[in-house]
Amino acid sequence: APTVTIPEQFNVADAFLDRHLREGRGDRVAIHYEGQHYTHAQIAELANRVGNGLLSLGVDLEQRIALLLLDSPQFAAAFFGAIKMGAVPVPLNTQLRPDDYRYMLNDSRARVLLIHASLWQTFSPLRPELPYLRHVVIVNDLEASVPLDSTTHDFDDWTAHASPQLDLAPTSKDDSAFWLYSSGSTGFPKGCVHLQHDMIYCTEYYARSILEINEQDIMLSAAKLFFAYGLGNGLYFPFSVGAQAIHYPGRPLAATMFQLIERYCPTIFFGVPTLYASMLSLPDVARYNCSSLRLCVSAGEALPAELQQRWQATFNVPILDGIGSTEILHIFISNRPGDIRPGSSGKPVPGYRALLVDEQGHEVAQGETGNLLIAGDSIAACYWNKHEKTKATMHGYWIQTGDKYFQDSDGYFWYAGRSDDMLKVSGQWVSPVEIENTLIAHPAVLETAVVGAPDAQGLIKPKAFVVLKEGLTPTEELTEELKAFVKERLAPFKYPRTIAFLPELPKTATGKIQRFRLRDTARTLPDDSGSR
């Protein structure tokens, strides 16, 4: 395994931008985007302009810059340009609701927001409720034609008026570099504070050691750049070696992914299990030409063995399943090319230590299931302004992942569920409690409990058990109405895919809902069972 030594004074933007210019890679393509391409020199210059633009707005070291951007060259330039001038970019999930944005913008106290025009409608009513936000910069304003003023700027004008030359801010290797928000089962999302050295660590130990990325690679990530997974795949992995990324601003649908693969010939494709399943279920799937791919990667939730085997048999390219987290930044246990155990997460990535412990913190015997702790130097420094959650999760060198695992006799790690109630749905966190709190607001609902239920492919989807108020009977229309009710109020990926009506919920003597009994019910009974 490589050893990574990083100098005390260090700004990671140098490693990802200026180094390629010094080493003669400036004219190589960095990003393919909607039929255009941008070289490493062009992105480095645009990043400098963004950095100078931020300086001109009065942004200082350590101040947060929120990004509500689609995958694009502007995202790349904004992220690296902010880091280069010493500010701290905070990419936000573009699929969330105004309440989520109000919280994250005020919690981070972002001074500037860079937002894509297509998201303006969602954001603009919030602006009076954001006391820390001073400026908004709109990418693609032609689309929204937002009236500009002294605090509302158009990205193209703003960068055109900024100098293309920018000095690196003299940050240390342990300064904050960027944050990513991660949601939990209850309470607000937590800002994971990542440091200047974290991306280098993931690049050296995972991307170089396991994927063997190099400047010949062309990377396509279905996972968006605002996820920790996508940020590595589509941004700092390719920029760490002067390789190429394909950025796609739209929804990562199965057929679209195949079109992008055939059009741009990527060498590595990154997806989540739900996407691989829907790609494989397209009619006549073997007709798609995937011969450019040397590797595929899956993360976000466990990849069922059957999917990995069917993909390998269809396209003759392996999928490497690996587990990562927003806190640890990227993948820390992974299968390897030529060493895949289908259904498992593989073995610890060099640079990371894994430990399985019981509730008392003692290491479990080989083969026993335990709570997974990880040590490694890409772990977030803390959750921003959440001291209790930080202490409960991060213990010195070790972090509690919240996952249960066991190790087989050959050393492969097998996922065995969460220790909280959180669900991973299509690679995104869904909180059952949040869905329950939404459903209970519907006038027909007396009580509800949401659990994860596996679909035909073995992938988990949220399922709601609902007790209706006196005198109401379950109907097909009501089922659809309840789904729509949740969809309107929460981010669209959070709605319950199935709803089962029960006369009452199973409870303990003290009145606590017995979720484990509902989970078993979800596993053994068909979807429409349980109607009274």
In one letter, which amino acid is 200?
Answer: I
Q: Which of 26, 89, 266, 324 binds ligand 3UK (CB under 6 A)?
A: 324
Q: Write out the two tokens for 411.
A: 């050393």
Report the C-alpha gap between 450 and 462 in whole angstroms: 7
Please report, as a single letter, which amino acid is at residue 450.
Answer: V
SS3 label, residue 151: coil
Beta pairing partners, 139:
116
Between 156 and 420, CB nearer to ligand 3UK: 420
Among 52, 345, 407, 426, binds ligand 3UK (CB under 6 A): 345
Stretch in the footprint of ligand 3UK (CB under 6 A) among 209-217, 255-263, 317-325, 351-359: 317-325
Cα–Cα distance, 449 to 419 (Å, whole number): 18
- Minimum distance of ligand 3UK from residue 247's CB (angstroms): 18
Supply angle C-alpha 156, 160, 166, rounded to 5.
120
323 makes contact with ligand 3UK (CB under 6 A): yes
* Smallest separation (angstroms) from ligand 3UK to the CB of 382: 16
Q: Does 466 bind ligand 3UK (CB under 6 A)?
A: no
Interface with ligand 3UK includes 393 (CB under 6 A)?
no
The reply on whether position 296 binds ligand 3UK by CB under 6 A is no
**71 forms part of the interface with ligand 3UK (CB under 6 A):** no
Choosing from 112, 302, 459, 478, the residue that interacts with ligand 3UK (CB under 6 A) is 302
Residue nearest to ligand 3UK (CB): 324
HSE-up (13 A, CA, CB side) for residue 161? 10
**Using CA atoms, how far apart are residues 48 and 46, in angstroms rounded to an integer?**
5
User: Binding mask 256-295 vs ligand 3UK (x if CB under 6 A, - otherwise)?
Assistant: ----------------------------------------
> Max Cα separation, the chain?
75
The 160-199 site mask, x for binding ligand 3UK (CB under 6 A), equals ----------------------x-----------------
- The reply to whether 321 sits near ligand 3UK by the rule CB under 6 A is yes
We find the least distance from the C-beta atom of residue 425 to ligand 3UK, in angstroms, to be 11
Residue 380 touches ligand 3UK, criterion: CB under 6 A? no
> Measured from the CB of residue 40, what is the shortest distance to ligand 3UK in angstroms?
24
Query: How many chain residues bind ligand 3UK (CB under 6 A)?
Result: 23
| 492 DSSP 8-state letter | G
- Residue of 427, 421, 418 whose CA lies nearest to 463: 421
Euclidean distance between CA atoms 345 and 323, whole angstroms: 6
**Does 429 engage in binding with ligand 3UK (CB under 6 A)?**
yes
Ranges of beta strands (E only) in 265-397 are 268-271, 295-298, 319-324, 331-334, 347-348, 353-357, 370-375, 394-395
Phi-psi group of 426: left, alpha or beta (phi > 0 → left; psi -120 to 50 → alpha; rest → beta): left
Query: Rounded to the nearest whole angstrom, what is the least distance from the CB of residue 123 to ligand 3UK in the complex?
Result: 23
φ, ψ of residue 456 in degrees (nearest 5):
-60, -25
Residues listed for the chain: 532
For helices 254-264 and 273-280, the axis angle rounded to 10 degrees is 80
Nearer to ligand 3UK among residue 199 and residue 478 (C-beta): 199
Taking residue 368's Cβ as centre, other Cβ atoms within 10 Å add up to 11
CB of 374 to ligand 3UK, least distance (A): 10
Q: How far is the CB of 73 from ligand 3UK (least distance, A)?
A: 22
User: What SS3 class is residue 80?
Assistant: helix
Residue 302 beta carbon to ligand 3UK: minimum distance, rounded to whole angstroms: 4
Instruction: Choose which of 252, 300, 343, 496 interacts with ligand 3UK (CB under 6 A).
Output: 300
Piece of the chain touching ligand 3UK by CB under 6 A; list 1-9, 17-25, 248-256, 298-306: 298-306
Here's the x/- map for ligand 3UK, 222-241, by CB under 6 A: it reads as: ------xx------------
Asked if residue 72 lies in contact with residue 139, where contact means CB atoms within 8 angstroms, the answer is: yes
Residues 83 and 89: beta-carbon distance below 8 Å: yes
Is residue 415 part of the contact set for ligand 3UK (CB under 6 A)? Answer: yes
Q: What is the contact surface with ligand 3UK in residues (CB under 6 A)?
A: 182, 228-229, 299-302, 321-326, 330-331, 345, 401-403, 415, 418, 424, 429
